[in-house]
Chain A
Amino acid sequence: MAGRWRNTLNWSDVTPEAAYLSRRQIMAGAGALALGGLAGQARAAEGGLEPNTFEEITSYCNFYEFGTGKEDPKRNAGALTVDPWSVKIDGLVDKPGTYDLADILEGVSLEERIYRLRCVEAWSMVIPWVGFELADLLDRVGVQPGAKYVAFETLFRPEEMPGQRAPILDWPYVEGLRLDEAMHPLTIMATGLYGQDMPKQNGAPIRLVVPWKYGFKSIKSVVRISLTETEPPTTWNKASAREYGFYSNVNPQVDHPRWSQATERRIGAGLFSKRQPTLMFNGYDEVADLYAGMDLKKFF
């Protein structure tokens, strides 16, 4: 069992007093996860870490399966069938099989995680995810001693995912983590945000979230999880190996070959907002131990 991650960001940290009071009243009536109606109010100035609005999070997405434009996923994801949904778990595990999503969710407890998300394109958001630690699922299926990596795969269904009808990327989208990264308590499988089921354009019904890596590592609409002995191929790395490394940790010192990663712009800050400095590991310093002794300029 992985150590439990303790969140240092929560609603009371980031919310101005006036909105905080009304939120408490709503929460008292609707239960801890019924935060959906708060989408518009969830802004706060304190500490500089305010969740983006539901509207921002769901209308500015990179999900090339539904088109390369930022608003394409919102426009085109409606046709995606997310129920029934199953995830095939295979490779070096004790209990391989095709698990129904409901079955997976029965064995875990959902919690809220307010995480920063830093896109490789130098923009960022703060998102209140709902999910569970990937380690809990991996423990349940039993990781065998030889396993060193975890490979993930997105649904391939061109009839519902129009972006997959053109060879913009090598479909299906695949991603991977080292086993210790996958087992880290910060790494979650998210099934919702803002207390609601995951919007389709954000990777419904279940997606990975690894907050210290660039957003493209957090693969969406996952249908397969495989435990492997060797480093699995990853989609953007296959598309351009010199631009997108396997690790892709957020790192202001290692620039993308075509643009700087030293700064980022917060989505939703408006036409006259300033860029802000990008933080090492996107501010999640607790993962630094995973890379002790590694040259992160080489393993970018």
Chain B
Amino acid sequence: MGLAGTINGALRRVPAWPVYVLGMLPAPWFLYLGLTGGLGVEPIEALEHRLGVTALQFLVAGLAVTPLRRLTGINLIRYRRALGLVAFFHLSLHLATWLFLDLQSWQLIWADIVKRPYITVGMAGFVLLVPLALTSNSLSLRRLGPVRWRRLHRLTYPAVLLGAIHYVMLVKGWQIEPLVYLAAILALLSLRIRLPRRRVAV
């Protein structure tokens, strides 16, 4: 418990708010790049892509908190709410970019949601995360009670999985990067399936 204890001790003095501040920096940075030519010659697609991937990265980070504690003892649970909300922040902007910069037409948007499986999948993932973002405050936790709250927040698992599938589906051919995210997410989810059983064995 030496190294993990040292890390946990050092982290005790680090509040959660820097995670929000630093975590939300990518979005204005991408927007700045997009406005100044830093996102290449197709900035809308690039902005959409970068916001989506950043959201996925924070979701994966949030998913890694519990396995990290169980496997190494390092406890980042205090930052998990921030990780989830920062992910949701980028995801909302990803969606807004698609709605207001990419398609710009309600007709096209509705047709895409209904007819394009990868959009349907991505939208489903987003919709699942909305109640989680809304109940991420302490008041909701108290109102719902920890059992119901935790059960509700298990929606993260299908939501993150849908996000990764959305990424795999939208690219042309079988590209490596989206498959890496999918594999990482499946690994983090499978750890959750096995861990309770192990606890029973002990």
A: which residues have CB within 8 A of B? 52, 55-56, 59-60, 64, 68, 70-71, 120-121, 123, 166, 168-169, 239-240, 255, 258-260, 262-263, 265, 267-268, 270-275
What are 20 A-B residue pairs whose CB atoms fall within 8 Å in the complex?
Answer: A55-B41, A59-B40, A64-B173, A68-B171, A70-B42, A120-B172, A123-B42, A166-B176, A168-B175, A168-B176, A258-B118, A258-B169, A265-B44, A265-B102, A267-B41, A267-B42, A273-B44, A274-B104, A275-B102, A275-B103
Q: Does B193 contact A (CB under 8 A)?
A: no
- CB-based contact B174/A168 at 8 Å: yes
- CB-based contact A271/B116 at 8 Å: no
Beta-carbon contacts of B102-121 to A below 8 Å, as 1s and 0s? 11110010011001111000
Residue of A nearest to B31 (CB): A271
Please give, as numbers and ranges, the residues of chain A lying within 8 Å of B41 by CB-CB distance: 52, 55-56, 59-60, 267-268
- CB-based contact B108/A239 at 8 Å: no
Q: Chain A's nearest CB lies how many Å from the CB of B5?
A: 43
Please give, as numbers and ranges, the residues of chain A lying within 8 Å of B23 by CB-CB distance: none
- CB-based contact A60/B40 at 8 Å: yes
Once A59-B41, A260-B111, A275-B104 are accepted as A-B contacts, the answer to whether A68 and B175 lie under 8 Å apart by CB is yes
Residue of A nearest to B100 (CB): A272
Cα–Cα distance between A239 and B43 once the two chains are bound (Å): 28
Once A168-B174, A258-B169, A260-B112 are accepted as A-B contacts, the answer to whether A272 and B101 lie under 8 Å apart by CB is yes
Residue of A121, A258, A262, A275 touching B116 (CB-CB under 8 A): A258
The 4 closest A-B pairs by CB, nearest first: A56-B41, A271-B43, A60-B41, A271-B34
Cα–Cα distance between A268 and B34 once the two chains are bound (Å): 12
Please give, as numbers and ranges, the residues of chain A lying within 8 Å of B34 by CB-CB distance: 271
Interface residues of B in 40-81 (CB under 8 A from A): 40-45, 47
Q: Chain B's nearest CB lies how many Å from the CB of A252?
A: 13
Please give, as numbers and ranges, the residues of chain A lying within 8 Å of B101 by CB-CB distance: 271-272
Q: Chain A's nearest CB lies how many Å from the CB of B95?
A: 16
Once A123-B45, A260-B112, A265-B42 are accepted as A-B contacts, the answer to whether A271 and B35 lie under 8 Å apart by CB is yes
Please give, as numbers and ranges, the residues of chain A lying within 8 Å of B102 by CB-CB distance: 265, 275
Q: Chain B's nearest CB lies how many Å from the CB of A163?
A: 11
Please give, as numbers and ranges, the residues of chain A lying within 8 Å of B4 by CB-CB distance: none
